[in-house]
């Protein structure tokens, strides 16, 4: 079966099962099991050995660094919430933000600034901005959209994030001649869904209009003050002595220590993690040469220790309270750890069957025109898979090995294809009602989950359609800046058209009222 179509059967089955069941864990495991059966020649004992040793144990050992980073990040999030820093920032913002436009932009900016992890983003932005947006009669559905639209998209274009580490891990050992983190960084300018989502939000806020189900929610909030809050909002009692700095200190410390960790491991200060001195004093070279699986835990652990000492010195957390955050952080990060383990295991099985060789040979005879359209096709496939399974990580875990096999390592289309895969994974995850990020955005805004999904979907689908068109252009132009400018122009033009159509809908309803008033 090596180097034949059978090598693609395990990921294809995982995709089909994900579409049917809308569940990521069993779909990925089933693909792993089929791959192990093929690899072991259908021998039961050898199959079990392949699943456990070659798949799961290998994935856990190879990705121990990112697992540690996720757990440390979860602990830090729990400590920030426990300290009362988020609540203090909310109180400060209420006195400094005077308009609804300002409140929405503040939620957007805060979401962009918290780029380390989407879970951290949702948990922080929701608790911080709820009092601010409530005071300006912005519906909870709109807040949930702002949270969701800056959580995964910003993490997918931030080199210092758990998502960067996950993508780098999937791409690290593939035969591209480029390190995983370097491939991720080069793909950022082509991540049109994330970038165009930001253009979409800013333009929508300044144009002061909404459409689809979101319009009804916003009108209800503005006219009656009915924000659409869900259930009891008491939640966890915030520390009354918390200050804004109690939120800012851990976030800033994490950003600084992770950045230093990346260039340290990459050899900026002398010798890198492999004993080489080639990148000494070279910031860009060190960043491209680094190992995110070592650097991010390195930075996160130092930031966690500094935050722990800071909170003790401020006397807003006791040692016991800080220790209670450790299991909380671990539990919060169990789902992404499981998904990453299964996705990397499936990648290992697919690679052992020679999928890269088969797909590469298959695509050599493709016509140039079709070849240039492949990024747009990859974007659509990733969207569908992520929507059905509710996971970005599982999606790019399945697709990235196939994408890297399609395009030559020296081709600009490889970078565009990787970006299309990541962008499609974020888009599908953004739209999916079973996505962890979507669920957490609903929880962060404290809005009914179905309300969030139904109001967000038209916005996400609009940006998805614009991104698809931009990927078609990028496949032929192969220039990130020109393609992005085309996409941004299309986004703004689409919003003007949508505002015009919404105004026409209102015109027939307002005409009889005006005539009656004249009479």
Q: What is the pLDDT of residues 185-205, one digit of tens each?
A: 888 999 999 999 999 999 999
Residue 371 exposure: Cα atoms within 13 Å on the Cβ side: 16
Work out the pLDDT band at 235, boundaries 50, 70, 90: very low
Q: Rounded CA gap, 442 and 123, in Å?
A: 10
pLDDT above 70 covers a percentage of the chain that reads 87
Decide if 187 contacts 419 (C-beta within 8 A): yes
Is the dihedral angle over the CA atoms 354, 359, 362, 368 positive or is it negative? negative
pLDDT score for 509: 52
**pTM higher than the cut 0.75:** no
Q: Rounded CA gap, 44 and 330, in Å?
A: 34
Whether the predicted pLDDT of 275 surpasses 80: no
Angle between helices 412-431 and 192-207 (to 10 degrees): 50
Phi, psi angles (nearest 5°) of residue 109: -65, -45
Q: Rounded CA gap, 420 and 379, in Å?
A: 5
Decide if 396 contacts 422 (C-beta within 8 A): yes
Please count the other Cβ atoms lying within 10 Å of the Cβ belonging to residue 3: 15
pLDDT score for 367: 43
Question: Model confidence over 410-444: pLDDT tens digits?
Answer: 778 888 988 999 999 999 888 887 677 887 788 77
- Provide the token pair at 183: 């491939």
- What's the average model confidence in pLDDT over 306-329? 91
Work out the pLDDT band at 177, boundaries 50, 70, 90: low
- Provide the token pair at 71: 């757990």
Helices (H), 390-479: 392-406, 412-431, 436-445, 449-477
- At residue 288's C-alpha, the angle toward residues 267 and 483, to 5°, is 160
The per-residue pLDDT of the chain, averaged, comes to 82
pLDDT score for 180: 73
Decide if 384 contacts 19 (C-beta within 8 A): yes
Catalogue the E-assigned strands of 174-233: none
Work out the pLDDT band at 174, boundaries 50, 70, 90: low
Collapse the DSSP code of 457 into the 3-class scheme (helix H, G, I; strand E, B; otherwise coil) and give the result.
helix
pLDDT score for 118: 77
Give burial (CB, 10 Å; 0-12/13-18/19+) of 326: middle
- What's the average model confidence in pLDDT over 160-184? 70
- Provide the token pair at 447: 């809005």
pLDDT score for 288: 64
Work out the pLDDT band at 263, boundaries 50, 70, 90: confident
Angle between helices 162-172 and 392-406 (to 10 degrees): 40
């Amino acid at each position: 079966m090596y180097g034949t179509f059978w090598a693609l059967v395990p990921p294809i089955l995982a995709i089909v099962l994900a579409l049917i069941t809308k569940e990521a864990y069993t779909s990925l495991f089933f693909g792993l099991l089929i791959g192990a059966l093929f690899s072991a020649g259908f021998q039961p004992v050898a199959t079990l050995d392949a699943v456990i040793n070659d798949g799961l144990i290998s994935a856990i050992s190879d990705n121990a660094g990112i697992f540690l980073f996720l757990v440390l990040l979860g602990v830090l999030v729990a400590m920030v919430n426990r300290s009362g820093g988020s609540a203090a920032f909310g109180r400060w913002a209420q006195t400094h933000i005077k308009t609804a436009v300002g409140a929405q932009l503040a939620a957007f900016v805060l979401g962009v600034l918290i780029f380390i992890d989407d879970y951290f983003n949702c948990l922080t932005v929701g608790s911080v901005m709820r009092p601010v947006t409530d005071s300006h009669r912005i519906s909870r559905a709109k807040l949930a959209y702002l949270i969701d639209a800056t959580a995964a998209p910003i993490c997918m274009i931030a080199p210092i994030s758990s998502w960067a580490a996950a993508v780098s891990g999937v791409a690290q050992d593939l035969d591209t001649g480029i390190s995983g983190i370097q491939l991720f960084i080069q793909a950022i300018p082509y991540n049109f869904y994330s970038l165009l989502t930001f253009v979409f939000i800013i333009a929508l806020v300044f144009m002061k209009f909404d459409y689809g189900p979101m319009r009804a929610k916003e009108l209800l909030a503005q006219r009656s003050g009915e924000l659409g809050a869900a259930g009891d909002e008491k939640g966890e009692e915030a520390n009354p002595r918390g200050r804004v700095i109690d939120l800012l200190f851990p976030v800033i410390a994490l950003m600084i220590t992770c950045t230093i960790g990346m260039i340290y491991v990459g050899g900026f200060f002398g010798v890198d993690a492999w004993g080489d001195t080639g990148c000494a004093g070279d910031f860009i070279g060190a960043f491209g040469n680094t190992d995110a699986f070592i650097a991010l835990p390195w930075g996160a652990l130092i930031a966690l220790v500094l935050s722990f000492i800071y909170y003790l010195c401020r006397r807003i957390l006791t040692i016991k309270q800080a220790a209670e955050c450790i299991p909380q952080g671990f539990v919060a990060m169990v789902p992404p750890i499981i998904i990453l383990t299964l996705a990397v295991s499936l990648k290992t099985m697919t690679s052992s069957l020679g999928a890269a060789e088969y797909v590469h040979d298959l695509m050599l005879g493709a016509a140039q025109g079709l070849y240039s359209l492949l990024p747009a096709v990859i974007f659509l496939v990733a969207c569908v898979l992520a929507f059905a399974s509710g996971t970005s990580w599982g999606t790019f875990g399945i697709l990235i090995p196939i994408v890297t096999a399609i395009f030559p390592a020296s081709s600009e289309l490889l970078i565009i294809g990787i970006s299309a895969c990541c962008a499609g994974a974020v888009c599908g995850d953004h739209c999916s009602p079973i996505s962890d990020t979507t669920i957490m955005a609903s929880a962060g805004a404290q809005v009914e989950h179905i309300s969030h999904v139904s109001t967000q979907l038209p916005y996400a689908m609009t940006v998805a359609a614009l991104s698809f068109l931009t990927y078609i252009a990028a496949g032929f132009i192969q220039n990130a800046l020109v393609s992005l400018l085309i996409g941004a122009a299309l986004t703004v033009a689409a919003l003007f058209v949508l505002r015009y159509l919404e105004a026409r809908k209102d015109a027939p309803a307002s005409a009889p009222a005006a005539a009656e008033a004249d009479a």
